[in-house]
């Protein structure tokens, strides 16, 4: 059994004109580990996810998935080589990404949204891809919605279709970008329940979230990001109960007092399963 982490990120940097979105980011995620990534808006969380899948090209640093270099690698002669598009595309399906916008194809049914990527990217025959799609949609409680188009589904149902589409690619790692941000409040628990089920099944996950209760109860570890850097990380409940950096303490004070008016400081007692 490999001892390589499911994800290894070292010195990852991404610059845009006039701004550094990622500033020397380091992050390891072990196989089967759930890491919640928290931080203020604009701190680089979504950019990190896009760079991890090479939808955005990092300017510097390295990524490895299950021990395999992804995007850039150091050759035997010590030179750094960017991988070819074919090499990047071959490994990209191992990282499933569920966007905030979901990006479902509006003209396709829920079932076809899960079938088509398997055929195009993995080369699966339609019958095999359909069986896998039906299995996943059934597991996610969407068996009776498979023939509906995205516009005829609720926000939570569309989110579950997007999760099924990513899972169908048999990823080694799942990335979620604020999976509850676009949902009505009554649907948040529905999607968090799906993530809890994935966690219970041993799926390796990196979840960008503002749901602090979910992060504390489901994540093994929390990483706090600010101004393009991960400035503190540790066991989920420990980090929330006793943050070390003043910046994280300030962030949690704001987030938790917003959730519970009148609360002046992070209180572990509020971190019950939502």
Domains of the chain: 7-270 (3.40.50.300)
Q: What percent of the chain has a predicted confidence (pLDDT) above 70?
A: 91
pTM: 0.85
Tokens for 27, please give them.
């992050």
What does the pLDDT look like over 40-79, one tens digit per residue? 988 999 999 999 999 999 999 999 998 899 999 988 888 9
d(CA 4, CA 265): 38
Write out the DSSP string of 175-207.
EEESTTTTS-HHHHHHHHHHHHHHHHTT--EEE
**b or e along 131-165 (b: 16 or more beta carbons within 10 Å of the residue's beta carbon)?**
ebbbebbebbebeebbebebeebebbbbbbbbbbb
Stretch 220-242: mean pLDDT? 94
Residue 258 is predicted with a pLDDT of: 59
Residue 123 is predicted with a pLDDT of: 92
d(CA 14, CA 183): 29
When the pLDDT of each residue in the chain is averaged and rounded to a whole number, the result is 87
What does the pLDDT look like over 211-222, one tens digit per residue? 888 888 889 999
d(CA 63, CA 195): 24
């Amino acid at each position: 059994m490999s001892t390589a982490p499911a994800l290894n990120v070292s010195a990852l940097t991404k610059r845009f004109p006039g701004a550094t979105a990622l500033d020397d980011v380091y992050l390891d995620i072990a196989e089967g580990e759930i890491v919640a990534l928290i931080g203020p808006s604009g701190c680089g969380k979504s950019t990190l996810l896009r760079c991890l899948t090479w939808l955005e090209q990092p300017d510097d640093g390295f990524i490895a998935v299950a021990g395999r270099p992804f995007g850039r690698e150091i050759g035997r002669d010590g030179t750094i080589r960017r991988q070819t598009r074919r090499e990047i595309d071959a490994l990209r399906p191992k990282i499933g990404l569920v966007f905030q916008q979901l990006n479902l194809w509006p003209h396709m049914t829920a079932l076809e949204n899960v079938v088509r990527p398997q055929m195009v990217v993995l080369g699966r025959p339609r019958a095999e891809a359909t069986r896998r799609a039906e299995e996943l949609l059934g597991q996610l409680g969407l068996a009776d919605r498979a023939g509906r188009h995205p516009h005829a589904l609720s926000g939570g149902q569309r989110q579950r279709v997007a999760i099924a589409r990513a899972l169908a690619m048999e990823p080694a790692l799942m990335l979620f970008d604020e999976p509850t941000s676009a949902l009505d409040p009554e649907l948040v628990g529905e999607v968090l329940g799906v993530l809890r089920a994935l966690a219970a099944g041993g799926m390796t996950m990196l979840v960008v979230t503002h749901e602090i209760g979910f992060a504390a109860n489901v994540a093994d570890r929390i990483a706090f990001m600010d101004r393009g850097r991960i400035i503190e990380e540790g066991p989920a409940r420990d980090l929330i109960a006793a943050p070390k950096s003043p910046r994280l303490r300030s962030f949690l004070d704001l987030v938790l007092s917003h959730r519970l008016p009148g609360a002046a400081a992070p209180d572990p007692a509020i971190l019950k399963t939502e």
